[in-house]
Structure 1
Amino acid sequence: MANPPLISDLAQQAPPGPLLLAFSGGLDSTVLLHLLVEAGLGPRLRVVHINHQLQPDSGDWAEHCQQIVAGLELPCEVIAVQVEAGKGIEAGARQARYHALFADAHRDGATVITAHHRDDQAETLLLRLLRGAGVQGLAAMRGLDHRQEIAVWRPLLDQPRSVLERHAHEQGLQWQDDPSNQDQSLRRNYLRHSILPALRQRWRGADEILARTAQHMGDARELLDERAQQDADACGVSSQRFPLPGLAALGPPRQRNLLRWWLHRRGASAPSAAVLAELLALQDAAQDSQARVEWGNWAVRLFQGALYLLPRHALAPWQGELLWSADSPPPTLPFWRLATMAEEGGVSLMRPPGDLTLRPFTGGARLLRNGMHQRIKELWRAAGVPPWQRHQWPLLYRGETLVSVPLVGLADGEEAASCEEWFLLPHSS
C-alpha cells in the first residue's frame, strides 16, 4: 500500500477540527486507525466503537477495540446501541450506528470518519440496483459528505480491500473478523461471497468498473442537485419548510427531484416511490388540512400549504418541568435545544434574569402584553407556528407568572435590556 504517499494524502485531505473515527476492530478500520495516527492526526482524533449487542461476544469485541486504541495512546469510547426489531439486522444496525455516531459528533462538531473502500462501493451499487434505486441511490459514496449537519469523511474509497489487507499483513496489524460477515443470509454478505467473486472471474476489473459506474451516477446526482437547488430557491423552500404552491410550475420529474433532494438534505431516509407519490398528492389537500405521511422513522406534516419534516417521535408533545437557574447552562429539551447563536430555523426566546422554570404550553396559557392577557395559542397561530411545535416549545415562568414566550416576547414589566436572547433550534434528526 502506498505507505508515505497515502499517509501524506491523509494529512493533506483531513478536514479541519476534531475527528471521530468509527472503529469496528475489523481489518478496514484497523488499517485506517493506524494510518491516521501515522499521518500525525492523533491529537485531533477520537475513536468510537459501536456495540450493537447482536452477538454473545460483543463485549469481548469492544474490549479488543479499547486495547488496540489504548496502545496508540488515544481515547476510545464504547457506545452500546439497541437495534430495532422489524427493520432487518443490516438496516437496523446501520441506523442505530449512525444515530449514535452523529449524536456523539455533535458534542464538538467532529467530522465522522469511516473506513469504506472501493469494494464497498461495488457492493452498495449492486444492492441498491436490486432495490430499484434511482440516480441518488446509485451514486457513489462521496469522499467527503455531509449528513445531519455532520461531515462524513471516507478517505479510503479509492483503495480496494486487497490493498488494505496486504498493508495490514506487512505492518503486522491485529484485527478481528466479525463472524456475522460469513452469514450469507444477509444480502451484502451474499453479494460479497457469492456474486462478486463470479463477476470478477468473468469480468476483469469488475469492482473498478462498478465503482466507475457509481461515479458516473455521482456526476448525474450533482447535476440533479444543482437543478433542485435552483428550483428550491424559486419555490421558497428552506431547510425547515417546503411550500407546495411553487411545485405547480414544475413538471413531475422536477417535482420528484426537488422533494427527494429536500428530504435527503434533512437527513431523512429515502422514501419509496409510493411514499413520494403520497407526498406530492398533498398539493391537492385543502389549505386547512393537517395531513401527514409517514415512513420508517419519519413523518411529513402539512400545515398552511407547506410541508414540514420531523422524526415520528417528535410528533408527541413535550411534558414535564425544568429548572433554569441563573448563571447556569440551559436544561436539555427533548425536541429542541437552546443556543446563544441564531441559525436557520431558530426561534428567539428572551430570558429574563433570575431562576426560571420551563413548562410546556397548554391551550389556556396567556401572556400579559400591553395591559391585556393574550392567549398564546392565538399569537402563535397568527405567526404560523405549526400545532405540534406549539406543544414542544417551552414557556418561561418566574414562580407562577409567565414571563417569556418563544417568538412572541416578554410579558409586561420585563425589561428587554436586562434579558439575554437565546434561540430554540431543532435537534438534528
Structure 2
Amino acid sequence: MAVSPTPKLNANFPSLDALQNLGPFAVALSGGADSTALLVACAARWPGKVHAVHVHHGLQAAADGFEAHCMALCERLHVPLVVRRVNAANASGESPEDAARQARYRAFADALQNNWGGQINHMVLAQHADDQVETLMLALSRGAGLPGLACMPAVAERYGVTYHRPWLEVPGSHLRDALRAAEESWVEDPTNGDTRYTRNRIRAELLPVIEQAFPSFRQTFARSASHAAQAQALLQEMAEQDLQLVGNPPAIKALQQLSEARQSNVLRHWLALEHSQASAAQLQALLVQVKACTTRGHHIDIKVGRGFVRRDGAVLRCYNL
C-alpha cells in the first residue's frame, strides 16, 4: 500500500469533536490500523498539538516492525513520539492479555510524567465499537456484574492520566476504509488471527453470526453497556453513602441493618478501598457470616482475594497478604 507524504484531509475519518476542548494530548500508538487512523486524523485536525506514545511489549518478533512503523509515521506527521519498552510477561495465574494491558497502562503514565515537561496528562485511545462488543461478550462469558458489563468508558482516569475513547460507537471497518482513502498503511498484528485467544475467537467467529441476526448490534449493545454504566454509577454513590453509615472499618451491627443487596454493595466498595476484591462465592460467604454474627464470641475469618476479612471486636477488618 502506498504511503502519502501527508494525510489526505478529505479522507472520511470519524468525528473527533469529543476531543476539541483538550489541550495538548498524546495518542496511544500501537501501529495497527485503529491507532494509525487515530493519529493521522488527530494530526491532520490539530497539527502541533498531538504527541504519541508507543509501547514495545517484546512479546513477538513483529514488535520491532511495529516500532519502526510508528517512528516513520510520526516523523512524517511531525508528531513527537516516545517509545517505552516493557516486560509484559504474565505471572502465574494471570492471563497474557491482562499482563500486557497492565504493563501498557503503567508505561503510558510513565511516558507522560517523564516527557514533554510532564505537562500532558490526557491520552487518546483508538478502541472502537467492535472492541466494545468484544469486551461485553467477554464480560458475559465470565458472569460479570455491572462494572464488567459497563465495558469501556468514553473517559476514565488511571495512574493520574485521563483516557479518552472518542470512537466507541464507530465500527472498526470504517477506520480501515478511511485509512485506505487516505492512502495510509498500517501494520497487522500476526496474533490477531490466533483463535487461541478468546477475544480473537469472538471477533472471527461470533461477531459475523451476530451481525447476520442483528445488523444494528453494535449500537444496541453499546446502549446496554451505557445503561449498565449508569446503574453502576448509582450503586457507587449508594456504596459511598452506606460506608459513611456503617463506618470504615464497617461495624457489624450497622451492616446487619442493611438489606443483603446493600451489604454486598458496600462491602465490595470497602474491599476495593482496601485494595482487595472478593469473588461472588467469597462475598456470599462473608454475608452469611455477617448475618450469623449475633454473639460476642462469633468468629469471622473469610478468604477474600489475596487476603482475609476477619472480625475484630465490633468491626470487620481486611488483611492483605
Using the size of structure 2 for normalisation, the TM-score is: 0.79
Counterpart-to-counterpart distance in 2, 1:101 and 1:290: 41
1:339-350 residue pairs with structure 2 within 5 A?
Answer: none
1:26 corresponds to which residue? 32
In 2, the alpha carbon distance for the partners of 1:157 and 1:202 equals 21
Which of the two has greater strand per residue?
1
Is the aligned partner of 1:99 residue 2:110?
no
Rg larger for: 1
The 1:81–1:122 alpha-carbon spacing in structure 2 relative to 1, beyond 3 Å, is same
Aligned pair count? 299
Q: How does 1:25-424 map to 2 (within 5 A)?
A: 25-40=31-46, 42-43=48-49, 45-82=50-87, 83-86=89-92, 87-107=94-114, 108=118, 110-237=121-248, 242-245=249-252, 246-262=254-270, 271-277=278-284, 295=305, 305=315, 307=317
What amino acid is aligned across from residue 203 of structure 2 in structure 1?
R
Q: Structure 1 residues 292 and 179, CA, compared in 2 at 3 Å: closer, same or farther?
A: same
Superposed displacement of residue 106, structure 1: 4.7
208-217 vs 97-106, greater mean Cα deviation: 97-106
Quote the Cα distance in structure 1 between the aligned partners of 2:215 and 2:67.
Answer: 38
RMSD, aligned CA: 3.4
Output the amino acid matched with 1:154. Answer: R
Bigger relative contact order, structure 1 or 2, given CA contacts below 8 A and separation 6+?
Answer: 2
Contact 1:278 1:293 (C-alpha < 8 Å) held by counterparts: no
Q: Which has the higher helix share?
A: 2
Q: 1:249 to 1:106 in 2, by over 3 A?
A: farther
Q: SS at 1:119's partner residue? A: helix
5+ residue gaps, structure 1: 313-429
| Structure 1 residue matching 2:72: 3-state secondary structure | helix
Aligned CA distance change for structure 1 residues 67 and 257 (closer, same or farther; 3 Å): same
What is the rounded CA distance, in whole Å, between the counterparts of 1:80 and 1:37 in structure 2?
24
- Structure 2 distance, partners of 1:214, 1:29, is 23
Q: CA deviation at 1:55?
A: 0.6
Provide the secondary structure at the position in 2 that maps to 1:25: coil
Deviation at 1:232, TM superposition (A): 2.8
- Answer yes or no: is the 8 Å Cα contact 2:243–2:250 preserved in 1: no
Percent of aligned pairs sharing the same letter: 34
CA distance in structure 2 between the partners assigned to 1:117 and 1:151 by the alignment: 18
Cα 1:5–1:186 change in 2 (3 A) is closer
Q: Deviations over 1:178-219 (max 9, x none)?
A: 010100110000000001101111222122222222122122
